[in-house]
Amino acid sequence: MYLVRRILVGVEMPTSRPWNAANLEPPSRFAVRQAFQLAASASLPVSLVSVLPEPSRGWFSSFAEAEVTLLTAQQEATEVLRDLARQYTHQPDEQTGVTCVVACGTPWLELLRTAGNAADTLIICGTRNTGAVSRALFGSTGLKLIRNAAGPVWLVRPLPDDDAVLDILALTDLTEVGQDVLTTSVTVARTLPSRLHALHVVDEPTDRYLRHTGISAERLAELRNKSRDDAEHRLQDQLAATDFRTLPNGVKSHVVTGDAGETVLDTIRDLKINLVVMATHARGGVAGMLLGNTAERLLPDLPCSLLVIKPDDFVSPIAAQMA
């Protein structure tokens, strides 16, 4: 992937005991699978990370009993991660080259600590299979990862068929970070069986403003067409800077005028998109996402996986806590 040198996968332990890799919930299983597919394509190291809750001392008769319970859980979780590493690398335990980490505490913060505030580390986490992604991770772990991770974050929602072709929608505002989105999207589409779409939305507020200036309908139509044509040319220039010609299924570009949030959601539904790739502009916070304030309206209704790219100057707002 673009500027990624390491992949960190958040693995949630099964809901029932005994824990084993075969019992992983679909979101974690799918996240692990896609992580290893990406890693294999670029020979990237993988870290499998599971974060266990801190045991409530009130449930135990002594500190010693609480420590024993936690130690047992850590050992079981470590074996699950090692089993996953063996399955996906097809190597004996000592030769997998995969780092397995079991931490204890707050999931999003421990994942960020393990990532080490590294802008070149991609964090991948599965979302719980409960409808819109917002109902699973965007409101908690996922949202905090998006806001605070120094590097890209991929929140994975499993497909009904794990082997299905992935339909990817890359959102670009035609700036430098939009170019990063397209480059990353092409890389993902080349690695996983995919169909790639690139979308730029010419937002309509400017159009509404011009109507109130007394401009003629003919002149307004002329300006609207020129804006659209310019955007289409710039989008093609951005695609030309990628390796999109190497994609088996090519790429389809879309330039649409309208409300950004509504247009994106309509496009996702119409094209049956499985993964949206977008970026943040701000140095921190969801309000700085590619679509500006529209992002905060978009995220709660997003029905698919999300990969968020950070600009070069992004600084994690909690970098000190990750030290």
Domains of the chain as residue ranges with CATH: 1-158 (3.40.50.620), 163-317 (3.40.50.620)
In single-letter form, the type of residue at position 118 comes to: A
Query: In Å, how far are 21, 47, 139 from 124, measured between CA atoms?
Result: 17, 10, 16
Nearest CA among 290, 293, 280 for reference residue 173: 290
- Whether 86 shows a pLDDT value over 80: the answer reads yes
Nearest alpha-carbon partner for 153 in 299, 313, 261, 7:
7
Better-predicted residue by pLDDT, 323 or 183: 183
**74: confidence class by pLDDT, cuts 50, 70, 90:** very high
| Phi and psi, residue 272, nearest 5° | 55, 50
pLDDT at 132: 46
User: For residues 264 and 172, what is the distance between their CA atoms, to the nearest angstrom?
Assistant: 11
pLDDT value of position 291: 42
- Predicted TM-score (pTM) of the model is 0.88
Q: Which stretch of DSSP H or E encloses residue 40?
A: helix 26-42
Q: Is the pLDDT of residue 258 over 90?
A: no
Higher-pLDDT residue of 102 and 1 is 102
Contact 200, 174 (CB under 8 A): yes
Q: Which helix (H) or strand (E) holds 235?
A: helix 217-240
Calpha distance 208→214 (Å, rounded): 11
Say which residue, 282 or 161, is predicted with more confidence: 161
Q: pLDDT confidence of 280, banded at 50, 70, 90?
A: confident
pLDDT band at 95 (very low <50, low <70, confident <90, very high): confident
pLDDT at 197 over 70: yes
Compute the Cα dihedral for 126, 127, 132, 138 and give only its sign: negative
The pLDDT, as a whole number, for residue 134 is 44
Greater confidence (237 vs 225) lies with 237
Q: What is the pLDDT of residue 58?
A: 61
Size of the chain, expressed as the number of residues it contains? 323
Token couple for 70: 């936690």
| Alpha-carbon span 255 to 235, nearest angstrom | 8
Please give the Cα distance from 268 to 272 (Å, whole number): 6
Give the per-residue pLDDT at 279: 86
Q: Can you give the pLDDT at residue 57?
A: 60
Q: What are the tens digits of pLDDT across the range 239-250? A: 999 999 999 998
Q: What is the pLDDT of residue 287?
A: 45
pLDDT digits (tens, 9 = 90+) for 119-141: 999 999 988 645 444 444 444 78
Output the average pLDDT for the chain: 83
Tell which wins on pLDDT, 2 or 259: 259
Residue 5: predicted pLDDT: 93
